[in-house]
A and B are shown apart, each in its own frame.
Chain A
Amino acid sequence: MTRRAAALAVKYQGPLALAVLLVAGWFLAGAVNATTVTILVLALYYAIGGLSFNFLYGSLGIFSLAQPVFVAVGGYTSVYLYNTYGISPWLSLLIAPVIAAILALPVALVATRIGGGAVLTALVTLIVAEAATPLLIAIKPLGGAIGLYAKSPPRPTFSAMQYANGADFVRILLVINVLFLSLWLWWNRSRFGLFVTAIKDAPDAGESVGVPTARMRLAVFLIAAMLAAPAGVVYAQYNLLTSPDLFLGATALFQFIVVALVGGAARPWGALVGSLLITYLSQEVSDLSGSKPGAAPLTFAVVFVIMALIVPRGLSGTWERIAQRRRPSIDASLGPIAKRPGAVPGTPPPAAADGEDLTTRHGLTAS
């Protein structure tokens, strides 16, 4: 490989990795046995929910335990619209995010305004998640505590999104994962990514140069809700069921957060890696214990405990630290001029480490 090609490969390593993932996953889905397909469906489903949590938490530090609610919105939208109006779940993939965003708006208004950091937001969103179940049950057309079973068409059609073979669901979920990962990569390089970095690291300095802090916080919350909804659409089709217990049961409520935090919010791929790892582990543990019902949730819990005590930044956060230590800093190689963000065209400003005050870093003094 020539040096030029190698340089290009490094520059486009994100899109390249995603393309490889998509192609490899697509063909792998057809080649593996049924058990593995089940694991892959679960893992890719958790990965989308985890990604929506990580996008919000990684961008702005908003710790939302309400993401399962927006996933459930996807599931209910899809099954209800299909059963009642015959609207294809494929369309629901587009409709559900809109509904999720509308429902997320009041939550977002509260969660982004109360201040008080991650703990308070976590508690308030946990209450939203807990209140969602009785609310869903109270809405009669949505099937109460039992939920809704997706009607089967007389003969299989494309528009029903119902497949006997789980491999098709693996492919759908894979495409959604890759799409969202690409979106996140693009977002990080766009002006929004810069806004978000500014808000997270130096809100006052950002505000003073015109970063729309309040609007961005609201927008990121709504986008995270929209990212969560399609996962519910596909998962409901996979189960042919949408129910409070499926999406908001005691174990379902924390699975996204576990895979997201174990994977780490520092990189977009965190949730996917965490999810594959944990789903595989919990399947193994479940097999070893003779399919005891509590085995899988306990595995999630134990992995989460290990993560919280040993690698609190998750896998991708630890990865980032190691990578930063090995790579000579861009500041040192380019001289003083590069220290100002945006001084070198095409390079994003160096991200500040957690807790580092950007105001002092750039010669400003904090008020």
Chain B
Amino acid sequence: MYFAQLLILGLLSGAVLSLVAIGFTLVIGVGKIANFAHGAFVAAGMYLGYEAYVAWHISPYLTLLPALAFFGLVGWGMAEVFEQRGRKIGEVGELLVGLALLLLINGLLEALFTDNARSLTGVDIGSVAVTGISIPWTELVAAIFTFALAGGLHVVIRTSRWGRALRATAEDPVVAGLCGIRVPVTQRAAVTLSVVVAGLAGVIIAPFTVLTPDVGTTYLISAFAVVVLGGIGSTAGAVLAGLAIGVIDSMAAGYLSSYWTTLAPLLIIVGYLLARPGRATA
């Protein structure tokens, strides 16, 4: 019974990790940028959903559409910055631009909302009871959104022309360019898509997550763990690895102690990197 409960809680939190990691795997795989600000965009989405509900009483689910447009614009702008400034200096330049954006978003959120923890209460769309625990629909919606998004992206990437262009660019940007794929556009599209997914993920998880300005860093780390485990550029891998890490976290917290939740991703990454050095950088 206890095990089943931990399993379900783990799967639910794992779905959130997957959702954040799907965008991250795209931006690393296709965009070829390890975007340090990825988690910060999740935080920005969370505060957007929070503010829309508190100030104008708009349900987070209705906020998704304007958020799509907003993060689309921000994402394209960010991709432009990465192309223009970051790439010229090489790998460290991208790292610097990513860190700068991370700090800027954290700083803005802290200046606007202070660093007190907040939570969005009031979005209640019922709950279902499974194995003796009641699961709010808000969490289930997030999980369903994850699977729908991952499935949709998987189909698009596997079957459409656009998806082929993405895969070709991920495989080899130079050859893809020789074949007539507009590599800069494709890479920017991937970066934009990742930012949009991160922002929407933030809006979706806002109703059941504690909001602090720096929460993005935590999501960045777990997304990194998920991507390392699931394979770079693979949405299916991101979903499976996210669920796995969610369950491991949940079991560790349930049977050992809560601080293992933070340590589990670290141990997974370090173990993997030491066991298979070089794989994660490919």
Residues B100 and A308 in contact, CB atoms below 8 Å apart? yes
CB closest residue in chain A, given B282: A116
Docked complex: B85-136 residues within 8 A CB-CB of A: 85, 89-97, 99-101, 103-104, 106-108, 110-112, 114-115
Interface stretch of the complex, out of A83-91, A289-297, A323-331? A289-297
Contact of B278 among A110, A115, A137, A298 (CB under 8 A): A115
Q: Is A122 an interface residue (CB 8 A)?
A: yes
Chain A neighbourhood of B258, CB < 8 A: 134
Residues A134 and B89 in contact, CB atoms below 8 Å apart? no
CB closest residue in chain A, given B110: A294
Chain A neighbourhood of B115, CB < 8 A: 250, 293-294
Docked complex: A66-99 residues within 8 A CB-CB of B: none
Provided the pairs A124-B270, A294-B111, A294-B112 are in contact, do residues A116 and B280 lie with their beta carbons within 8 angstroms? yes
Smallest CB separation, A125 vs chain B (Å): 11
Distance in angstroms between the alpha carbons of A168 and B281 in the assembled complex: 48
Chain A neighbourhood of B81, CB < 8 A: 309
Residues B95 and A122 in contact, CB atoms below 8 Å apart? yes
Contact of A308 among B85, B114, B217, B273 (CB under 8 A): B85
Q: Is B34 an interface residue (CB 8 A)?
A: yes
Chain B neighbourhood of A301, CB < 8 A: 100, 103-104, 106-108
Residues A127 and B265 in contact, CB atoms below 8 Å apart? yes
Distance in angstroms between the alpha carbons of A294 and B106 in the assembled complex: 10
Residues A116 and B278 in contact, CB atoms below 8 Å apart? yes
Q: Is A160 an interface residue (CB 8 A)?
A: no
Provided the pairs A131-B266, A134-B263, A250-B214 are in contact, do residues A110 and B106 lie with their beta carbons within 8 angstroms? no
Distance in angstroms between the alpha carbons of A134 and B91 in the assembled complex: 31
Contact indicator per residue, chain A 245-257, by CB within 8 Å of chain B (1) or not (0) = 0000011011001
Q: Is the interface of B mostly helix, strand, loop or mixed?
A: helix
Smallest CB separation, B104 vs chain A (Å): 5
Q: Is A118 an interface residue (CB 8 A)?
A: yes
Chain B neighbourhood of A137, CB < 8 A: 259
Q: Is B274 an interface residue (CB 8 A)?
A: yes
Q: Is B224 an interface residue (CB 8 A)?
A: yes
Chain B neighbourhood of A293, CB < 8 A: 110, 114-115
Residues A305 and B259 in contact, CB atoms below 8 Å apart? no
Residues A134 and B96 in contact, CB atoms below 8 Å apart? no
Chain A neighbourhood of B259, CB < 8 A: 134-135, 137-138
CB closest residue in chain A, given B92: A118
Chain A neighbourhood of B278, CB < 8 A: 115-116
Chain B neighbourhood of A127, CB < 8 A: 221, 224, 265-266, 269
Could you count the A-B residue pairs with CB atoms below 8 Å apart for me: how many are there?
138
Residues B263 and A308 in contact, CB atoms below 8 Å apart? no
Contact indicator per residue, chain B 61-99, by CB within 8 Å of chain A (1) or not (0) = 000000000000000000001000100011111111101
Chain B neighbourhood of A53, CB < 8 A: none
Contact of A297 among B96, B110, B257, B266 (CB under 8 A): B110
Residues A297 and B106 in contact, CB atoms below 8 Å apart? yes
Provided the pairs A113-B277, A115-B277, A138-B257 are in contact, do residues A131 and B100 lie with their beta carbons within 8 angstroms? no
Contact indicator per residue, chain A 111-146, by CB within 8 Å of chain B (1) or not (0) = 001111111101110111011011101100000000
Distance in angstroms between the alpha carbons of A293 and B94 in the assembled complex: 29
Q: Is B169 an interface residue (CB 8 A)?
A: no
Q: Is A261 an interface residue (CB 8 A)?
A: yes
Contact indicator per residue, chain B 220-263, by CB within 8 Å of chain A (1) or not (0) = 11001000000000000000000000000000000001110111
Residues B114 and A294 in contact, CB atoms below 8 Å apart? yes
Residues B273 and A114 in contact, CB atoms below 8 Å apart? yes
Distance in angstroms between the alpha carbons of A332 and B273 in the assembled complex: 46
Q: Is B47 an interface residue (CB 8 A)?
A: no
Chain A neighbourhood of B262, CB < 8 A: 130-131, 133-134
Contact of A258 among B103, B108, B114 (CB under 8 A): B103
Chain B neighbourhood of A154, CB < 8 A: none
Docked complex: A206-264 residues within 8 A CB-CB of B: 250-251, 253-254, 257-258, 261
Contact indicator per residue, chain A 133-174, by CB within 8 Å of chain B (1) or not (0) = 111011000000000000000000000000000000000000
Chain A neighbourhood of B96, CB < 8 A: 261, 307-308, 312
Distance in angstroms between the alpha carbons of A251 and B111 in the assembled complex: 12
Q: Is B18 an interface residue (CB 8 A)?
A: no
Residues of A participating in the B interface, judged by any CB pair closer than 8 Å: 61, 63, 110, 113-120, 122-124, 126-128, 130-131, 133-135, 137-138, 250-251, 253-254, 257-258, 261, 292-295, 297-298, 300-302, 304-305, 307-309, 312, 355
